[in-house]
Structure 1
Amino acid sequence: MNGKSPAAGGKGSQASPWNSLSGVLDGHWTQSQFSVPGYTRPLLSSIPYYHIVNGTRGVTADQAGNPPVQPGDALYLMSGNYGDVYLGDYDINTFNSAWVTVQAAPGQIPAFTTLYIHSTNKWVFNGIKVQSINGTNNNGNALVMLTDQGPSYPTTDIVLENLQISSADSTAGWTQAQWVAQARYGYEVYGSAGNGTNGVPYTNCISLAGSHIQNVRTGAILSGNNLMFTNNIIDHFGDDGIDYAANNLAITHNTLHDNLNIGDGNHEDAMQGQNGALPAGAALNYFSNILIDSNLILRQTDPQLAFPQYLQGIDAFDEDWTNMTVTNNVVVTSSCYGIGLASIHNSLIAGNTVVEDGLYSVPGCTAAITVGGATHEGPVSTNTVVRNNLTSQLNVDNRDVGVTMDHNVVLCCTGPYISWYPNGAVQYVTQPGVYGNGNIVETEGTKGEFVNFNPATLTYTVMLKSGATAIGAGVAGGPTVDILGVKRASPYEAGAYSYPY
């Protein structure tokens, strides 16, 4: 940040850096009153800017003045705070013909107050810290926000990796009122509505990987098509961990832990299927092709956690969902739903481990896998298999056409263990044994199944121990690898981990 403008001799080199990222790429260059001292135009050639073209004032991107940064280039940032970084502007496309990379220089930690991306394409941001409390610079957006302006101004092909996203490094001592007033949303992808069946088509092809989101309200909102959210950590969040509402989503290999009750009345979920942007006249969205695989969800690991709260795991209570694959996930929580999915079709719920931690009272509830029936707006579920799961409770509405359950293992000893409809009427299983197609209620509980399960110390290793009932209790037709990527082979296990590891 101790550089110079081009007018003062800045060259954009490590020895002679520029002093303003806004001078290179800010979307506000389209506005007639915008300027950056020492910069006559944006240094990136693809950024539209307000200037005189052929005797007429207008907004366009061009090569006037031989701008030194071109699509395909990389910008390396030194440590320092670059403020609010804003890409794109109202009713204008910022088009890159090749990827533009903005990343931390080796050993540096550049920081943004917020990052806002819309109506543009082909950007990579790598190694950036994005941090500020709500309202900084009169800005109430999420820390990282991506959106579009409909089909004429889409946002596509954005790669974000190795980001640090937080309202503050530490929220120790914050009151609930401070959380509500000061914590921001973390990462938000929220595009314009489609037609009700094509998801969210105008903000699409976006990934966030290898990043850490903490001390925020909602961690991530994934409402754009063709999104990948992988190998991220979300912790110390005050509302939901992840909200999803789009087509073609991959939510994989993430860790979520330590949610808080910040007193705003939010319904607490680790991953919740949401309504999304609804097109005019549509009763609901029909979303499809959702992969939720190999995620670790732990309600509490921090013994000093302020305001502990229940946390529902992976769920969808709204809209309609086709081709969902929910596999290899671990959920350790206190709630009614470890996995709860309705209005679900042509889907597979398999190889998951869901366990009640017993630490937060939710009267009448045990963390369960619950599948079938209808959401608030959607039709009843169809053609969905619930297989090879290991769970504290199992509830399946197999009255729905094609909804089946087989070779699941249910932990004793807090029944009822299974609710289902073997003859069209609900039946509650309250005793150990084998039920239906290979569904087992075992007799040892967590101590007989897991290497370590100790709520008193908030430590959980839910790999299977020797002699666990879940070993060999599964069948083919579930995920081919486990949560660690280990190939599954016969005899198949129930739960997220194969055995031996």
Structure 2
Amino acid sequence: MDHFLTLRLRRGIARLASIGTTGVVGLAMSLGATMSPATVLAVPNVPNRAPALPPQVACDRPVMPAGGHVFYMDPVRGSDSGDGSRAHPWRNFGALVSKRKLGERLRSSMRLPMLPDGAQPGVFYREQANPDGKVVGGDTILLASGDYGELVLNGIVNKRFMRIAAAPGARPVFTRIVTAFSSHMILQGLVVRGPMGPKSTRVLVGAAPQNEFMPDNLVYDHMDLGASAPIAGHDPQDWYDNAPNGVMMRGDCMTISNSRIHDVRTGVGIIRGRDDQVLNNRISGFSDDGIDFSGDRLRIRGNWITDHWNNNGALHPDCMQGQSSSWHWPYSGLTIDHNVCIDHTSERAVPDKEVMQGISMFDGVWKNIVITCNLVLPRAYHGIALYGMDNARIENNVVVGMDPKEPSWIMAFYSKEQKAPRGDVIRGNWATGFPNADQGKAGTLAGLKTGELHMKDGGSADELSVTMANNTLAVWPGTKVSAHLDPKVKIVRIDGPAKPMSVPEALRRYPLPAACQKT
């Protein structure tokens, strides 16, 4: 059908029910020409609480089919009256968007007229065919070098992927890219240099839903994203107040890959996503977190995250952090593998006064987690730290602290709300601390006081539902190993804390287990 409209009621389903059948008919008639005979008016069933797990999302492979059209855009020699050919390119996206030339279907919203009792019930959300669409699924727009300003592609829907990409050798530059509630797009090879500004505009690349309309199947590949000013030498408070974030994704089947993200507050954020991916990116020069994430069936793989900067004490920086709350449904299906986290590399040999933690999940309800084959060199206790998570496998990781006073650990412990982890496995890792291997009530493990963790009073690590197997404790001179250390944990002596080094050098100095080479 051409349209589907969803009615959301500000005052609940009872308001519509109270006006009766006559009122519904009158409402439909008052919309007049905006509704066709094929229109469906749907009143959603409002559940009392969120489901335990959202349904599986259908993700499509981001490939361009053969036979699509290729169009051209040039901000210097192009024209709004051009036809998009190589000889007569378009100038920018403004005219294409305003004339509805992009997409097979379009999503939009419209405010409802008053109900018969005088109440305003809400907004219609509409998706309809776009007869004016010239660039649709399967087509490509190649961009020449130049400044394009802000790119806003909201509510543009295709069944196949539409690609917007840099022409070979070109450097198209934008100030911001927004693809809210859109579907099936590949953005490739684009540069974003966002100005410093107020918090409401501080996202370089963003995608978010509009109520029922969730963005899906969006790919950002080989992007270069950063603020217009470098973080080096910048006032930390001004940076915290005004610098942009890199990529913020709230949708389904979304990917940021093979991109360079630098000079930002947070590098990448996945917000309640489903089947989203962060793959093979280089994230550096950030003041908050490298990657923040929440959602179901997420994959974070092959990223290098290095060189955080001071945020004036506003937040503790993390390489990666799970962001959730106890009122969310249990998130399930997270994989974090083959990433590298380094507090500061040899390119920035003088460390910041604030330390970066490794891979941490302190809050919320999570289950079915795999964290494997990561190299983590933090300057804080938390190397890989899970609080109150269930069915987590932490396997074949290497964690070495960079601070002689804080040998970094791998651990699974009670949550802040005193929820114990269940069914967790810590196996085959090599690290400078394993609090779960301390079988005493108040012992120390490589200088770590287990009583400082979120354990119940008088409790001990062996009371948790955590299985330890085939782990190796790396100890440098001057650290004390607990007398209560699980005898099955191997001990190796190392020269001292990790030094600043490049990622390739770190991978040579601290090689991942052989099992990681097979995956």
Q: Distance in 2 between matches of 1:241 and 1:23?
A: 36
Equivalent residue in structure 2 for 1:20, among 92, 99, 109? 92
Q: Determine if contact 1:319/1:378 at 8 Å carries over to the other structure.
A: no
Equivalent residue in structure 2 for 1:108, among 160, 164, 170? 170
Equivalent residue in structure 2 for 1:324, among 342, 363, 369? 369
User: Does residue 366 in structure 1 map to residue 394 in structure 2?
Assistant: no
Matched residue SS, 1:24:
helix
Change (3 A) 1:113 1:386: same
Matched residue SS, 2:238:
helix
Equivalent residue in structure 1 for 2:471, among 395, 408, 423? 408
Q: For residues 100-499 of structure 1, what are the structure 2 equivalents within 5 Å?
A: 100-135=162-197, 140-150=201-211, 152-168=212-228, 170-190=230-250, 203-223=251-271, 224-275=273-324, 283-301=327-345, 302-303=347-348, 307-358=352-403, 365-372=406-413, 374-377=414-417, 379-396=419-436, 398-400=461-463, 402-413=465-476, 428-429=484-485, 435-437=486-488, 439-442=489-492, 444-446=493-495, 455=499, 461-462=505-506, 481-482=515-516, 486-487=517-518
Q: For residues 46-85 of structure 1, what are the structure 2 equivalents within 5 Å?
A: 46-47=105-106, 64=131, 67-85=133-151
Q: Determine if contact 2:149/2:176 at 8 Å carries over to the other structure.
A: yes
Please say which of residues 345-354 and 304-313 is displaced more in the overlay: 304-313
Following TM superposition, by how much is the alpha carbon of 1:285 offset from its aligned partner in structure 2, in angstroms?
3.8
Matched residue SS, 2:96:
helix
Following TM superposition, by how much is the alpha carbon of 1:345 offset from its aligned partner in structure 2, in angstroms?
1.6
Q: Determine if contact 2:196/2:229 at 8 Å carries over to the other structure.
A: no
Please say which of residues 296-305 and 263-272 is displaced more in the overlay: 296-305
Q: Determine if contact 1:316/1:342 at 8 Å carries over to the other structure.
A: yes
**Paired AA for residue 286 in structure 1:** P
Q: Determine if contact 1:392/1:412 at 8 Å carries over to the other structure.
A: yes
Change (3 A) 1:415 1:222: farther
Change (3 A) 1:81 1:375: farther
Matched residue SS, 1:455:
coil
Partner of 1:199: none
Change (3 A) 1:268 1:285: farther
Following TM superposition, by how much is the alpha carbon of 1:393 offset from its aligned partner in structure 2, in angstroms?
1.0
Partner of 1:96: 158
Q: Distance in 1 between matches of 2:190 and 2:518?
A: 35
Following TM superposition, by how much is the alpha carbon of 1:289 offset from its aligned partner in structure 2, in angstroms?
0.8
**Percent of paired sites with the same residue:** 25
CA offsets 1:396-451 (integer angstroms, 9 cap, x no match): 165455411111111123576667xxxxxxx644xxxxx443x1122x3147xxxx
Q: Distance in 2 between matches of 1:456 and 1:306?
A: 9
Q: Distance in 2 between matches of 1:321 and 1:23?
A: 45
TM-score (ref. length: structure 1):
0.73
Following TM superposition, by how much is the alpha carbon of 1:370 offset from its aligned partner in structure 2, in angstroms?
1.7
**Paired AA for residue 42 in structure 1:** K
Q: Distance in 2 between matches of 1:105 and 1:273?
A: 37
The 4+ residue runs of structure 1 with deviation greater than 4 A are 47-50, 58-64, 414-419, 456-460, 462-465
Matched residue SS, 2:237:
helix
Q: Determine if contact 1:416/1:428 at 8 Å carries over to the other structure.
A: no
Q: Distance in 2 between matches of 1:249 and 1:87?
A: 25
Following TM superposition, by how much is the alpha carbon of 1:371 offset from its aligned partner in structure 2, in angstroms?
1.5
Change (3 A) 1:67 1:330: closer
Q: Distance in 2 between matches of 1:122 and 1:264?
A: 40
Q: Distance in 1 between matches of 2:417 and 2:329?
A: 9
Q: Distance in 2 between matches of 1:417 and 1:208?
A: 43
Change (3 A) 1:11 1:308: farther
Following TM superposition, by how much is the alpha carbon of 1:310 offset from its aligned partner in structure 2, in angstroms?
0.8
Change (3 A) 1:188 1:377: farther
Partner of 2:76: 2
Query: Which protein has the bigger helix share?
Result: 2
Q: Distance in 2 between matches of 1:354 and 1:340?
A: 11
Following TM superposition, by how much is the alpha carbon of 1:328 offset from its aligned partner in structure 2, in angstroms?
0.6
Task: Give aligned pairs, total.
Answer: 406
Following TM superposition, by how much is the alpha carbon of 1:464 offset from its aligned partner in structure 2, in angstroms?
7.2
Partner of 1:193: none
Matched residue SS, 1:13:
coil
Change (3 A) 1:139 1:5: farther
Partner of 1:493: none
Q: Determine if contact 1:232/1:253 at 8 Å carries over to the other structure.
A: yes
Q: Distance in 2 between matches of 1:464 and 1:68?
A: 51
Change (3 A) 1:409 1:306: closer
Q: Distance in 2 between matches of 1:243 and 1:347?
A: 18
Q: Distance in 2 between matches of 1:457 and 1:371?
A: 28
Change (3 A) 1:295 1:284: same
Gaps of 5+ in 2: 1-74, 110-124, 437-459
**Paired AA for residue 216 in structure 1:** V
Q: Distance in 1 between matches of 2:508 and 2:142?
A: 46
Q: Determine if contact 1:411/1:446 at 8 Å carries over to the other structure.
A: no
Matched residue SS, 1:82:
strand
Change (3 A) 1:379 1:154: same
CA offsets 1:350-390 (integer angstroms, 9 cap, x no match): 1111001127xxx6x32111212x22347210111111111
Q: Distance in 2 between matches of 1:357 and 1:440?
A: 21
RMSD: 3.1
